Structure 1
Amino acid sequence: METGMNKTPKISFAVALALASLAAQPVLAAVSAEEAAKLKTTLTPLGAEKAGNADGSIPAWDGGYTKVAPGWKNGQPRPDPFAAEKPVASISAKNAAQYDARLSEGVKTLMKKYPDFRIDVYPTHRSAAAPAWVYENTFKNATSAKVADNGYGVVDAYGGIPFPIPKTGIEVMLNARLAWEGVAQKYQLNTWVVTGDGHRTLSSAGLMSWLWPYYYKDARDSYLAKPTHYKMGSFVKSDPSAVAGEVILLHETVNEEKVPRGVWQYLVGQRRVRKAPSIAYDTPDTVTSGTGLFDESFGTMGPIDRHEYKIVGKQEMYIPYNSNKTALAKVDELVTPKFLNPDHVRWELHRVWVVEATLLPGKRHVMTKRRYYIDEDGWKMVMADHWDAQGQLYHLQYTLPYLAPDIPAVVSTVQWGIINLLTGQYYYNCNFNDLPQHFPVPEVPKQLNEAMLSPEAIATGAR
């Protein structure tokens, strides 16, 4: 990969020709039936290359990991199925040059800033999986889904990856937004912030609930006839005590032309629910005490119309993956000064889509350039590098993809979050370390329904 901020990663001549040919294709075009047929042969059902890499360090995809641990029950900590494995490489500032092409600019910068930071690389497991009905919907989406007229939304897609054979950067970004993580989630969480001088504090804690109407099973016709929000969720704060009872409610959409995005807050001191359109873009994220930006939450959140997105290529990169060992660690042992304890963070070699975002003329955002790394198997945004207006590499962003074979899915709920490469402050967000209940995924509508995630209901939920 590049060694300077303004250089782009090296890609093969064949990939370069393919990318050049894409520029002539209509932005709104779905793929042909012949191309979509690759999803049943050389590509996985979600669009990744089924074959491994040349030297075998990335194996072929064989269906993902769907084996539930004996005796495991919903809400219990999921065990690490690869706990017995040992690292195949350990990379730090001392030997980073040897692995340069497979490290992001943000990771290399962190290694230079902290010589004691390292990444332990383990054998690669292509564990991403989804139910058969998600695969079938993805196959249908390949020839039906289109980018919306505004250039930032998707139409005629449902219940699967919208663009499994993407042609543009925005299609890859929309795939990441609509990546499969189940139909619902409900879990306790903590958010820890570590200052540049190493002081750890609990920034916020509470209960998170999510629904994905886009992924309601057997609802394709009704959803396409009347699209609703693809994602609905609320965060009810329980700590710190000064903000206990506050609620943030999100109704996310991938096509604001048809379904407007909705954001509300319930503030205990005001005792009322109010709209909160500022929970977007580069507004400092109050959940993380302003360490990150709202549009960095969950990889990306809210409108993404201030940047232009271009595919740089597909690369083999070291990324956090199968992070169950991280979720099982004790907070005191994991959330340490400067960075998460490398002993508890698993890295693997995976192929990722690299998408570069550049601030559009006339638009304002604190980040003028961004580079996203999206896992090809599960379409999760696993890392991102963010540059500010002065051209400084400002934020390094991680998620910690977590294996949930019971769904089955690799989910990106747990986030190392943001490391401020200028101040050294970082956050560890949406984690359930040391909490009694881990990431349960209830069936809908038995334990969760849309009425519970409405503006009218959140004041009651806060109380």
Structure 2
Amino acid sequence: MTHQQLMQIGCFTLSLIAGNVIAAAPADQVARLGADLTPVGAEKAGNADGSIPAWTGGLPTTAGNKDSNGFLPDPFASEKPLFIITAKTAEQYKSKLTPGQLAMFSRYPDTYRIPVYTTHRSVNLPEKNLVTTRLNAAETTLIEGGNGLEHYHPGAVPFPIPKDGLEVIWNLIGRYRGENFKRIVVQASPQTNGNFTPNVVKQELAFPSGLTDYQPEEMANILSFYREEFLSPARMAGGVLLVHETINQVKEPRMAWEYNAGQRRVRRAPQIAYDSPAAEGMRTLDDFDLFNGAPDRFNWKLVGKQELYIPYNSYRLESPKLKYTDIIQPGHINQDDTRYELHRVWHLQATLKPGERHVYSRRDIYIDEDSWQGAEADAYDGRGALWRVSEGHASFFYDVKVPSFAAETHYDILSGRYAVNSLRNEEKNSYEFNVPVSRKEFTPSALRVTGIR
């Protein structure tokens, strides 16, 4: 641990003693982090029958070396499925499946399957993040109404020992995704026959404290900066989106701008939020990442913890040996390339508040306890019928200790179409972590330069 981190912990301890900290969790609860709980709040112990093992530190950074194209080797490549759940056997496993997964078996009885493998708790995070998480546990609080945070240190979960559903959804929003990163990934919205046009997108995410020109006072209410540029197809190339995600979204809502390459104009884009359609109408904007943005239109109920078969350690799905045509199939991605494991998840149920507007009346989100990433999400239409089923196929960059997705899928079980994003199988060195970036790269004026074609 660095001298600076030790100083942070020392200052944090002194402030507790002085009684100057508004504690989100009492000191005896904070002390559980790293004891019976992992440093980010998951249960260290395994489950009763041992099918979920104890957390022992996750995969080491030395588990494998990247190849020349930036792909890590699969640490579990030699493993075979313990069993494969099909439409014929789904009923016997229903206690460990979501309603959305069961609906997928009903919609695609001949092709949808869930291959279940041995569970590995592979996630671990950098020491700096663990220090920040501990600070947040003792200091971070929700603002009145829950639509923002106070005393929050960005780059880590705000509530590792959550008390309610709002705290859990803020953990998903604020979780660790690396310091700064750039990536080039592919997304597609195939037709019902499987035909698709790959959209190649360059995406950049940065946190204020990771900028080369960080200004604490000016950026005090910024959670993150996000920029997205379409590289292909030609009809979309040059379009750029910029988002400033805020911490206190009552004080200052999300700010967004779009650059239209055809018009060569930058415009404010207040519609980049909530239920605005995306991916050819196959998902909403706040479906991305299984949930993003302001949580204020829903009431969030924490149903509790449960054990589910969720996509995990999806190294095979992101293998460079696969082509996008191997993965993207009619109805759903090729499930033969997926991997599911039994893990504990936080189950949230969000119901639309009276008087608020959204295309979803309810959404259930299942969040992995070790990474705070979304794993499964079910969305219901205004009539209360299940409409969309989302899955986050978790992967883990163990060399830099960053959880991520090999793919993110959003299935419309009514239309038979879907959207998939975050694919990188045919891209070379698509991810760059800890990239030096400045505030100037995330300004509206920078969009014009980026988007010129």
- 1:429 and 2:421 aligned: yes
- Summarize the Cα distance change of 1:320–1:440 in structure 2 as closer, same or farther, 3 Å threshold: same
- Summarize the Cα distance change of 1:89–1:321 in structure 2 as closer, same or farther, 3 Å threshold: same
The code of the aligned residue for 1:106 comes to G
Q: TM-score, normalised by structure 1?
A: 0.88
Q: TM-score, normalised by structure 2?
A: 0.90
Which residue number in structure 2 is paired with residue 17 of structure 1? none
Which residue number in structure 2 is paired with residue 13 of structure 1? none
- 1:424 is displaced (CA, Å) by 1.0
The code of the aligned residue for 2:97 comes to L
- 1:330 is displaced (CA, Å) by 1.8
Deviates more, 1:432-441 or 1:52-61: 432-441
2-structure distance, mates of 1:231, 1:277: 17
Kept in 2, the 8 Å contact 1:314–1:351? The answer is yes
Which residue number in structure 2 is paired with residue 110 of structure 1? 104
Kept in 1, the 8 Å contact 2:64–2:75? The answer is no
Q: 3-state SS of the aligned residue for 2:196?
A: strand
- Summarize the Cα distance change of 1:170–1:70 in structure 2 as closer, same or farther, 3 Å threshold: closer
1-structure distance, mates of 2:438, 2:423: 23
Number of corresponding residues: 426
- 1:141 and 2:136 aligned: yes
- Summarize the Cα distance change of 1:431–1:449 in structure 2 as closer, same or farther, 3 Å threshold: farther
- 1:187 aligned to which of 183, 204, 225: 183
Matches within 5 A, 1:1-150: 30-72=24-66, 76-116=70-110, 117-150=112-145
- 1:343 is displaced (CA, Å) by 1.2
Kept in 2, the 8 Å contact 1:368–1:389? The answer is yes
- 1:418 aligned to which of 401, 410, 413: 410
The code of the aligned residue for 1:207 comes to K
- Summarize the Cα distance change of 1:161–1:225 in structure 2 as closer, same or farther, 3 Å threshold: farther
- 1:387 and 2:380 aligned: yes
Kept in 2, the 8 Å contact 1:384–1:396? The answer is yes
Q: 3-state SS of the aligned residue for 1:194?
A: coil
The code of the aligned residue for 1:425 comes to R
Q: 3-state SS of the aligned residue for 1:52?
A: coil
The code of the aligned residue for 1:186 comes to K
- Summarize the Cα distance change of 1:224–1:120 in structure 2 as closer, same or farther, 3 Å threshold: farther
**RMSD of the TM alignment (CA)?**
2.0
2-structure distance, mates of 1:97, 1:431: 31
Kept in 1, the 8 Å contact 2:123–2:370? The answer is yes
Which residue number in structure 1 is paired with residue 10 of structure 2? none
The code of the aligned residue for 2:228 comes to F
- 1:79 is displaced (CA, Å) by 1.9
Kept in 2, the 8 Å contact 1:247–1:267? The answer is yes
- 1:156 aligned to which of 128, 151, 157: 151
- 1:437 is displaced (CA, Å) by 2.6
- 1:240 is displaced (CA, Å) by 1.9
Which residue number in structure 2 is paired with residue 282 of structure 1? 275
Superposition misfits of 4+ residues, deviation over 3 angstroms: 68-71, 214-217, 222-226, 257-260
Kept in 1, the 8 Å contact 2:328–2:334? The answer is yes
Kept in 2, the 8 Å contact 1:48–1:377? The answer is yes
Which residue number in structure 2 is paired with residue 453 of structure 1? 442
2-structure distance, mates of 1:203, 1:330: 12
- 1:409 is displaced (CA, Å) by 2.2
Kept in 1, the 8 Å contact 2:185–2:423? The answer is yes
Q: Which runs of 5+ in 1 are unaligned?
A: 1-27
Q: Which runs of 5+ in 2 are unaligned?
A: 1-21
- 1:214 is displaced (CA, Å) by 5.7
Matches within 5 A, 1:353-372: 353-372=346-365
Q: 3-state SS of the aligned residue for 1:241?
A: coil
1-structure distance, mates of 2:139, 2:150: 8
